[in-house]
């Protein structure tokens, strides 16, 4: 099980052909207090880099993109009910959705934890 | 920090307190410290300290200043008593709003506080319209703090006991720990509180002293915006601009009775017509269904999807834990309880016209007791 990152500040935890997606601690820190989250429903097909979820803080609205394409297995209802989980536990309880990867090759487009750290430092 | 941003006198103080600084009105300013929701709630429950030194503080003086200003503002300055801040507006010839402001008679001059983003244009506007003998001094050497919240009076009165005598919309000169200050009981949050003008070279000492009071925490621009939205107070450049009139903006209280009747200020013709016949559109408060905020720029649409109005401010209300907005709608829709459809990023939301403010004002009015 490995965690990958994107330049849009999403993380993806890959376990076989299943991926769990959320936004990073850096992203939640930039957004500030999150007040609204919308997650995709099970069964929806999302393409790599396509819009998949919405996150809104007091200040602004942002889209969450799918780091990899596939079929959504589950959206995190607990997060919809309590959007502040994004702030308190962004890379744990605050996950957005799970999907079944359509093409495991897409993982090669993502950054490792080390690469992502370097990317944030350069921002 | 980019070359185009200037720093305010408390810049280093904000950074030491862990503020996140953002560009605003040409300055680097604190948007938040611990977080907008926590700062918002703290201000509603205790007392928040805001640095609003970006705002323009002007001193207008010279022979005939009162009459000269009355030619530019709809306020009855002849009736305005010493030390009483009055909310007023600079207007275009067509009744559009150039800026909203506070004006106070102080002895032989008037003290005016205008918006930070518009202050240079305001000064140019004033200087081009005022007669030669009336001088506008931009008090760049003054900083401005606001202390807002139900415990603001407890905190400030510990340092200056005399401020307990002030009621809402009164002010005067005071000394705080040896610092000369002009203090008025006023603000932009809907709470009781004070605005404190002090020399820039003393503002850090005063801010530190205020922050030493247990009731007080520093509050950034983010919470300032959510607080004023809940209080139903318009923000210039968003809810007000040169295309909106005071009647459309529901700011008729800023048109003093004598001035309404006899005119003599820019835009009076249109304004008096709108007062008599009603404006075409009006600023209203909207309660938005669901939890997703509808923000500035969203359209108000009719059943056919045609645009009939615009959301000018919107966000999530921390006090109500629900989305709220202000919008301009056709007069027929500006009735409490009317449902309106709002379009944002290809989606339709439902709003209901509700009275402003969203959260009741808690000003310390004269005769209201303590």
Model confidence over B167-177: pLDDT tens digits?
Answer: 999 999 999 99
Q: Residues B152, B16: one domain?
A: yes
Please state the ipTM of this predicted complex: 0.89
Q: Do B292 and A36 make contact, defined as CB atoms within 8 angstroms?
A: yes
User: pLDDT band for position B155 (50/70/90)?
Assistant: very high
The domain boundary, picked from B170, B201, B230, lies at B230
Average pLDDT of B366-370?
A: 64
Chain A closest CA to B40's CA: distance in Å?
11
Model confidence over B224-265: pLDDT tens digits?
Answer: 999 999 999 999 999 999 999 999 999 999 999 999 999 999
Average pLDDT of B202-227?
A: 98
Helix (H) or strand (E) holding A79: helix A77-81
CATH code at position B203: 3.30.1360.120
> Residue B201 phi/psi, 5° resolution?
-75, -5
Q: Do B315 and A58 make contact, defined as CB atoms within 8 angstroms?
A: yes
Specify whether the CB–CB gap between B139 and B55 falls below 8 A.
no
Peptide bond into B273 cis (omega under 30): no
The domain boundary, picked from B170, B198, B230, lies at B230
Chain B closest CA to A32's CA: distance in Å?
7
Q: Is B272 helix (H, G, I), strand (E, B) or coil?
A: helix
Domain membership of residue B69 (yes or no) is no
Average pLDDT of B86-103?
A: 98
Q: Residues B211, B147: one domain?
A: yes
Q: Do A38 and B292 make contact, defined as CB atoms within 8 angstroms?
A: yes
Q: Do A32 and B35 make contact, defined as CB atoms within 8 angstroms?
A: yes
User: Is B164 an interface residue toward A (CB < 8 Å)?
Assistant: no
Residue of A nearest to B223 (CA): A58
Concatenating the DSSP letter of every residue in B55-112 gives SEEEEEESTTHHHHHHTT-SS-GGGPPTT--EEEEEE-TTS-EEEEEEEEEETTEEEE
Q: Which residues of B touch A83 (CB under 8 A)?
A: 291
CA neighbor of A16 nearest in space, from A73, A76, A66, A57: A73
Give the ranges where chain B is alpha helix by DSSP (H).
Answer: 11-16, 36-45, 65-70, 119-129, 152-159, 203-211, 221-230, 257-262, 268-277
Residue B140 CA, chain-centre distance (Å), reads: 20
What is the pLDDT, as a whole number, of residue B88?
Answer: 98
Angle at B68 between CA B64 and CA B71, to 5 degrees: 150
What is the pLDDT, as a whole number, of residue B368?
Answer: 62
* Separation in Å, CA B120 to CA A122, B26, B99, B329: 36, 11, 11, 31
Residue B69 CB coordination number (10 Å)? 23
Domain membership of residue B337 (yes or no) is yes
Q: Residues B176, B292: one domain?
A: no
Domain membership of residue B254 (yes or no) is no
Q: Residues B149, B41: one domain?
A: yes
Looking at domain A2-117, which of 1.10.287.130, 3.10.180.10, 2.40.420.20, 2.40.50.100 is its CATH number?
2.40.50.100
Q: Is B357 helix (H, G, I), strand (E, B) or coil?
A: coil
Partner residue facing B222 (CB), from A38, A59, A61: A59
User: Is A36 an interface residue toward B (CB < 8 Å)?
Assistant: yes
* Separation in Å, CA B5 to CA B8, B23, B25, B26, B31: 10, 7, 9, 5, 15
**β-strand pairing of A97-101 with B299-301:** unpaired
pLDDT along chain A (123 residues), means of 10: 93 95 96 96 96 94 95 98 97 97 92 95 87
pLDDT of residue B369 exceeding 60, the answer is no
Chain B closest CA to A14's CA: distance in Å?
30
Mutate to test the interface with A, among B18, B292, B344 (most CBs of A within 10 A): B292
What is the pLDDT, as a whole number, of residue B5?
Answer: 82
User: pLDDT band for position B3 (50/70/90)?
Assistant: low
pTM, full prediction? 0.95
Please give the share of chain B, as a percent, with pLDDT higher than 90. Answer: 96
Residue corresponding to tokens 């835009």: B267
Taking only residues 286 to 315 of chain B, the set having a beta carbon closer than 8 angstroms to any beta carbon of chain A reads: 291-293, 295, 315
Average pLDDT of B102-106?
A: 98
What is the pLDDT, as a whole number, of residue B1?
Answer: 44
Query: What is the C-alpha to C-alpha distance for residues A26 and B114, in angstroms, rounded to an integer?
Result: 37
Domain membership of residue B285 (yes or no) is yes
With a CB cutoff of 8 Å and minimum separation 6, the contacts of B243 are B96
Residue corresponding to tokens 């990317």: A119
Helix (H) or strand (E) holding A51: strand A51-57
Average pLDDT, chain B: 96
User: Is B220 an interface residue toward A (CB < 8 Å)?
Assistant: no
Q: Residues B149, B217: one domain?
A: yes
Q: How many CB pairs under 8 A join A and B?
A: 36
Domain membership of residue B27 (yes or no) is yes
User: pLDDT band for position B366 (50/70/90)?
Assistant: confident
CATH code at position B316: 2.40.30.110
Average pLDDT of B329-343?
A: 97
Specify whether the CB–CB gap between B349 and B288 falls below 8 A.
yes
Largest CA distance in chain B: 64
Mutate to test the interface with B, among A29, A35, A80 (most CBs of B within 10 A): A35
Taking only residues 84 to 123 of chain A, the set having a beta carbon closer than 8 angstroms to any beta carbon of chain B reads: none
Q: Residues B326, B208: one domain?
A: no
Query: What is the C-alpha to C-alpha distance for residues A12 and A22, in angstroms, rounded to an integer?
Result: 7
Residue of A nearest to B296 (CA): A60
Number of domains in chain B: 2
Partner residue facing A58 (CB), from B37, B291, B292: B37
Average pLDDT of B299-323?
A: 96
What is the pLDDT, as a whole number, of residue A123?
Answer: 81
Q: Which residues of B touch A61 (CB under 8 A)?
A: 293, 295, 345
Range of the structural domain that residue B294 is part of: 280-360
User: Is B346 an interface residue toward A (CB < 8 Å)?
Assistant: no
User: Is A63 an interface residue toward B (CB < 8 Å)?
Assistant: no
The domain boundary, picked from B171, B202, B230, lies at B230
Q: How far apart are the first and last CA of chain B?
A: 45
Q: Which residues of A touch B325 (CB under 8 A)?
A: none
């Amino acid at each position: 099980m490995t965690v990958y990152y994107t330049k849009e500040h999403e993380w993806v935890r890959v376990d076989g052909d299943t991926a769990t997606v959320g936004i990073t601690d850096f992203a939640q820190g930039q957004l500030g207090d999150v007040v609204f989250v919308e997650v995709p429903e099970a069964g929806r097909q999302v393409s790599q880099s396509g819009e998949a979820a919405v996150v809104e803080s007091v200040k602004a609205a942002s889209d969450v993109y799918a780091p990899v394409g596939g079929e959504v297995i589950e959206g995190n209802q607990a997060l919809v009910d309590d959007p502040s989980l994004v702030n308190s536990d962004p890379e744990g309880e605050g996950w957005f959705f799970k999907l079944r990867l359509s093409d495991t090759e897409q993982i090669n487009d993502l950054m490792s934890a080390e690469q992502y750290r370097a990317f944030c430092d350069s921002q | 920090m980019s070359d185009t941003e200037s720093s305010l006198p408390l810049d280093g103080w904000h950074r030491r307190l862990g503020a996140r600084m953002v560009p605003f009105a040409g300055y680097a300013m604190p948007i938040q410290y611990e977080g907008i929701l926590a700062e918002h709630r703290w201000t509603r429950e205790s007392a928040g300290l805001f640095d609003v030194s970006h705002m323009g503080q002007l001193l207008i003086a010279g022979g005939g200043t009162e009459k000269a200003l009355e030619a530019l503002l709809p306020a009855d300055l002849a009736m305005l008593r010493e030390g009483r801040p009055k909310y007023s507006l600079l207007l275009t010839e067509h009744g559009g709003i150039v800026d909203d402001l506070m004006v106070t008679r102080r002895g032989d001059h008037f003290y005016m506080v205008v918006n930070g983003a518009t202050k240079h244009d305001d000064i140019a506007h004033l200087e081009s319209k005022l007669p030669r003998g009336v001088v506008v001094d931009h008090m760049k050497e003054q900083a401005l703090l606001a202390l807002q919240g139900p415990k603001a009076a407890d905190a400030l009165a510990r340092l200056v006991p005399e401020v307990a005598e002030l009621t809402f919309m009164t002010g005067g000169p005071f000394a705080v720990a040896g610092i000369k200050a002009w203090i008025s009981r006023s603000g932009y949050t809907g709470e009781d509180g004070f605005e404190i003008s002090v020399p820039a070279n003393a503002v850090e000492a005063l801010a530190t002293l205020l922050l030493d009071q247990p009731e007080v925490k520093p509050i950034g621009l983010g919470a300032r915006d959510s607080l004023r939205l809940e209080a139903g107070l318009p923000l210039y450049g968003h809810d007000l601009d040169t295309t909106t009139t005071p009647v459309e903006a529901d700011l008729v209280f800023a048109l003093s009775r004598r001035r309404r009747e006899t005119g003599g200020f820019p835009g009076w013709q249109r304004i008096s017509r709108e007062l008599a016949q009603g404006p075409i559109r009006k600023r209203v408060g909207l309660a938005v269904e669901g939890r997703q905020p509808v923000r500035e720029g969203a359209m108000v649409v009719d059943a056919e999807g045609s645009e009939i109005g615009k959301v000018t401010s919107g966000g999530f209300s921390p006090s109500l834990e629900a989305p709220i907005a202000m919008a301009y709608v056709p007069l027929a829709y500006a009735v409490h309880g009317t449902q309106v459809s709002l379009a944002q990023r290809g989606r339709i939301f439902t709003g209901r016209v509700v009275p402003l403010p969203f959260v009741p004002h808690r000003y310390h009015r004269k005769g209201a007791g303590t």
